[in-house]
Amino acid sequence: MFESLGRAVAHRPRLTVALWVVLTSLGFALAVVGLHGESLFDRLTTGEPSVPGSQSERGTQILTEQDETGETVSLLVSGVDPADPAVAEAMAPVHQDLAAIAGVETVVDPFVVPGGVGTEAGQSLVAADGDGFVLSVTLDPALDDEARAAAATDVVEHLEAVPAGLAEVAPDATGLVSSNDLIVEAITSQVEKDLTTGEMIALPIALLVMVLVFGGFLAAAMPMAGAVASIGAGLGVLLGLSYVLTIDASVVNVVTLLGLGLSIDYGLLIVSRFREELHALDDARTGSADPAVTAGPATTARATRRPRRRDADVTAAVVRTMATAGRTVAFSALTVAISIAGLMVFEPDILRAIGAAGLAVILIAVATAMTLVPALLALAGHRLVRPGVLSKVPGLRAVLARTADVQSDEGFFSRLTGRVQRHPVWVMVATVAVLVVLALPVLGLQMRNSGIELLPESSPQREFVDELAAQFPASASPDLRVVTDSTTEDAQAWADEIAGLEHVERVDPAVAVGTDHAVVGVHLDVDDAGGPEAVALVDELRAQDPGFAFYVTGQAAGQVDFRAALADRVWWAVAIVVVATFVLLFLMTGSVLIPVKALLTNALSLAASLGVLVWVFQDGHLEGVLDFSSAGGIETYVVALVIAFAFGLAMDYEVFLLSRIKELHDAGLSNDEAVRLGLQRSGRIITSAAAIIIVVFAGFVFGELLVIKEVGFALAVAVFIDATIVRILLVPATMTLLGRANWWAPKHLRWLYERFSITH
């Protein structure tokens, strides 16, 4: 199968490249322009992740369905004395202009309420420090989507002009305009900016790393071409998925980041193996240890007189590459896909969307690595094994001699493995101790469902929300809302009891919601609406029995429901991933101990990565360096997807290494020699791929959206730990200790391996 695919691509490389150019261009066009003028980013949603059927989701649904008010657009004005009569006079025409906009239902500020600024109602709209006021415009709820959007746009334009209109009476006036739509737009636009920022940082550095790995731009460009194609086609697929699934804004960056990293990883492996195979064919034909180096004018002339034979060598190298590295890439992609598919077991829509989108992007990444990259290799041919222009630069020649891929079976990784094999017990104990210490902060993990906190503090929408909470406490929304299936009187009776609970500052009077429900707003005496105190209050409220059904909503309630949803399905997800991974690794190696070892070491590596994530983002270390403000915890769905993605990437490198070790062991080498030589031949590729993917993930840390920072940082740390401590030290130490037992399997399982084995 893999040989046939390699042969087909090698015989039609231009057609293959042309097809990918079309697919990539179409994907980018669809993502930017979209269908019917609606781009991918126009179709994204945002907000606190919810769990279908949960208490918080049901309560929010009731409030939304019964809400008879229109959208509200607000203006927060600072640097103004509301008690100044000149300010009230200057605001009069503003009221008239806003009220005249088609679709506006009400305009409220301290100057139009009965009695004016001096009344209690007026003071509730004045800043606590007396240096500003808030103005709210409510739209007619009967407007259709088109009319509502037009009215909202007109209102925003008028409100943004207010500070300039007050310049004569208040020269220091400034204003912030906000609405639910503007907050969503701010988050989705930030996603787009962070995506661009990450790619602008990651791609050039990744190209530089690959130039050092391959010693030239031509070979380095192959994986980059696959990465660009994966991004373009992936964005187009995401647009299609947005018509089937609800796609959160963060999903785009997360899956694009995954596709970019995997495309480069797989492309790197394919290109490296192709160069190795082509070198071997040239060596066999010329008898030279390195024909690219020793070839002179006579050799070149003979080569040009035998183009058909050289073309046959290129085709043979492509076919052999697909039979070995291509098979490894397919197997690796399958293990990553299984890990990502585990997310689809959970109930939250955002996890299912990430799982589905991740699977689609993985398929695209492996498709580019197994078709586009081999096609480009077939077109480049022997130019990939000749010294590049950079190797002729005196300053770079010595650097490339150390970094570019080599054919020697002796080198840094073989020497390092030899040292590890002389003291395997000490190496294993030391590496496990380091990983355990790094994992310790996980014990204090707090999972959060954040909203506006995801935006940077410099965002105007974040500034508006923070300023409103600080200066207009009367306008603060309740930290929790309790929706009841009862009369208003019964709800109020229970509200009086709730007021006496710990950490409850005050309870708003019960308000009827439609004809069958009532809602009670609960304000807490703590600053953190998603902290442990708020979570404890949610649990206490839900444990009560007021005599009627009720639903607790709010940030803390959403966190409780999300964590419960994870706990409810986590063992199903773990079982699926563990069993599938065990079976696949068994079919690859014929061993039952290697899969167990891989699962245990990957779990330890994953725990260490999560520990570092908690230490940095929850505990607030490195806030200044990474430019973020800690939300006091880690986003709930970030924990789930980091576990899935990091485990998948760890298996990716496990497969890269084991495939080479297994290949050498099957060729007759002893266990220790196969481990030593296998790490020498794959170590350079693993560390190079890890370096590139770390750069890719780290590029997204420079974005401003908190959730993207967390994901990028966590995965960069996970890959670093796995590719260094685990893959180069812990794995060879454990495989050395196990010795021949590495390849043991019960007799009744051996026939399964012999019949269904996945080997080169």
**pLDDT tens figures, 296-315:** 444 444 444 455 555 788 88
637 and 618 in a common domain: yes
Q: Is the pLDDT of residue 423 over 90?
A: yes
Nearest Cα to Cα of residue 714 among 647, 627, 657, 625? 647
620 and 476 in a common domain: no
374 and 473 in a common domain: no
Count of structural domains within the chain: 3
pLDDT band at residue 441 using 50, 70 and 90 as cut-offs: very high
In a domain, 479, yes or no: yes
CB 687 within 8 A of CB 611: no
661 and 704 in a common domain: yes
749 and 658 in a common domain: yes
Q: Is the pLDDT of residue 1 over 60?
A: yes
- pLDDT (0 to 100) of residue 186: 84
229 and 377 in a common domain: yes
550 and 614 in a common domain: no
In a domain, 154, yes or no: yes
- pLDDT (0 to 100) of residue 489: 92
CB 655 within 8 A of CB 331: yes
Residues spanned by the domain of 20: 2-31+184-448+562-756
Domain limit, last residue, from 510, 532, 557: 557
In a domain, 42, yes or no: no
**276-281: which pairs have CB atoms within 8 A and are 24 or more residues apart?**
276/405, 276/407, 277/316, 277/317, 277/320, 277/321, 277/324, 278/313, 278/314, 278/317, 278/382, 278/384, 278/385, 279/385, 279/407, 281/313, 281/316, 281/317
In a domain, 17, yes or no: yes
In a domain, 55, yes or no: no
CB 159 within 8 A of CB 135: yes
Mean pLDDT over the full length of the chain:
84
- pLDDT (0 to 100) of residue 264: 83
pLDDT one-digit tens code per residue, 700-734: 788 888 888 888 899 899 999 998 899 899 999 99
Q: What is the mean pLDDT of residues 397-401?
A: 51
Of residues 191 and 96, more confidence is placed in 96
In a domain, 59, yes or no: no
385 and 239 in a common domain: yes
508 and 442 in a common domain: no
Q: What is the mean pLDDT of residues 644-653?
A: 85
309 and 288 in a common domain: yes
CB 655 within 8 A of CB 730: no
- pLDDT (0 to 100) of residue 41: 77
CATH number for the domain harbouring residue 474: 3.30.70
In a domain, 364, yes or no: yes
Domain limit, last residue, from 120, 145, 178: 178
Which pTM was predicted?
0.80
In a domain, 45, yes or no: no
652 and 553 in a common domain: no
